[in-house]
Structure 1
Amino acid sequence: MRVLGIDPGLTRCGVGVVDVAPDRSATLVHVSVIRTAPEEPIELRLLAVARGIATALDAYQPNALAVERMFAQHNLRTVIGTAQASGVALAAAAERGLPVGLHTPSEVKAAITGYGNAQKAQVGTMVARVLGLAKVPKPADASDALALAICHAWRGAPFTPAADPGLLTPAQRAWRQAEAAARS
């Protein structure tokens, strides 16, 4: 299975592509970071992110897309930019008919390191180990995107959580309940 992971952001958007075999062994296919300048107009920044994601989707033809789901963050400006970049990634996947998995940072950390509160350095080290890399991919957005892709594949994806709520992780169920409560 080939999964493209997106660590969404406006200034830096991590893009990682991995191939994962049935025995859970993973191979690096591609990793990059889409960068935009904070002083550029928001519409141009989003266009650059959209084009970068589209290029990766078209070049690497993944079976699924994994995107980081923001669970909570204190900096409202960062949350908005991250949400906008996430929306661009989700739209690109929908346009191509790709299944999408949304994973919280703690889910990804737990999948990669075995500990949901692992530090970024620990995640990067485990990504390098899982992929057999000599060095941790830099910046952290790159290794986070790869971690998302690995996590998604290891969960037995692709799937559409809406189609089978029984496949949701506890964190995804909590998120879904919070969204439902906010709507009512």
Structure 2
Amino acid sequence: MSGLRVLGIDPGLTRCGVGVVDVARDRSARLVHVGVVRSSPDEQPGMRLARIAAGIREVLDAHRPDVVAVERVFAQQNRSTVMGTAQASGVALMLAAERGLPTATHTPSEVKAAITGYGSADKLQVQTMVARVLRLDALPQPADAADALAIALCHAWRGGPVAAGAPERALTPAQRAWAEAEKRSRR
């Protein structure tokens, strides 16, 4: 299948969803790999991040994606959860950068809207649409794995690789707003 191979990552410290899809120019998609990289809450934070990194490296080495898309960390009520998510996200982005791969981040509502047409869709709706798009016999499990596939599909459908210096027209309105906010914060 010619087109784009995308590694989608749903970052998490206990469960980090990883999904690789091939997406053709006609937007049809094929599942390449899906899984979850796990670490134990009983381990030290550095060891947990090392396990997440090792799992992501395995996927990068085995499937050689063209781009890595990561779910953008958003504020949650539980600080320890958001910290672990942010740390796992940083590891994923760093590993892609080490390989010279373009990266992008997408908000949960952006991903839901791309996959289901509704930015407030629930987990089951996302899993159902991912299964339908990828022609799977069963819903991808657990939800972290389905979310990783949804992130990959969202990225491919919303303009493909986006890296620093990419033309503005390749960005979605949400991505343009985020880029502008980041520019303003650096001034």
Q: TM-score range by the shorter chain?
A: over 0.9
SS of 1:110's partner is helix
Q: % of aligned pairs identical?
A: 67
Letter in 2 for 1:21: A
Aligned to 1:31: 34
Indicate if the aligned counterparts of 2:9 and 2:18 stay in contact, CA closer than 8 A.
yes
CA RMSD of aligned residues (A): 1.4
> Among 33, 57, 62, which residue is 2:65 paired with?
62
SS of 1:78's partner is helix
SS of 1:58's partner is helix
Give deviations 1:92-147, integer Å, cap 9, x for gaps. Answer: 10011101111000110010000111111100000000000011111100000000
> Among 131, 137, 150, which residue is 1:134 paired with?
137
Residue 160, structure 1, aligned to residue 141, structure 2 = no
Q: State how many pairs are aligned.
A: 184
Give deviations 1:42-88, integer Å, cap 9, x for gaps. Answer: 00000000000011001000111010002332211111101100110
Aligned to 1:98: 101
* Residue 180 (structure 1) shift: 4.3
Question: Which ranges of structure 1 fall in alignment gaps of 5 or more residues?
Answer: none
Q: Distance in 2 between matches of 1:156 and 1:181?
A: 24
- 1:95 to 1:11, Cα distance in 2 relative to 1, 3 A: same
Residue 170, structure 1, aligned to residue 173, structure 2 = yes
- 1:100 to 1:140, Cα distance in 2 relative to 1, 3 A: same
Q: Distance in 2 between matches of 1:40 and 1:76?
A: 18
Q: Distance in 1 between matches of 2:180 and 2:108?
A: 18
Aligned to 1:11: 14
SS of 2:84's partner is helix
* Residue 181 (structure 1) shift: 4.8
Letter in 2 for 1:119: D
With structure 1 as the length reference, what TM-score do the two structures score?
0.94
SS of 1:150's partner is helix
Aligned to 2:154: 151
Indicate if the aligned counterparts of 1:16 and 1:30 stay in contact, CA closer than 8 A.
yes
Q: Distance in 2 between matches of 1:80 and 1:20?
A: 32
Question: Which ranges of structure 2 fall in alignment gaps of 5 or more residues?
Answer: none
Give deviations 1:133-183, integer Å, cap 9, x for gaps. Answer: 011111100000000011111123112154323332222233334444545
Q: Distance in 1 between matches of 2:170 and 2:159?
A: 9
Letter in 2 for 1:40: E
With structure 2 as the length reference, what TM-score do the two structures score?
0.93
Q: Distance in 2 between matches of 1:177 and 1:74?
A: 26
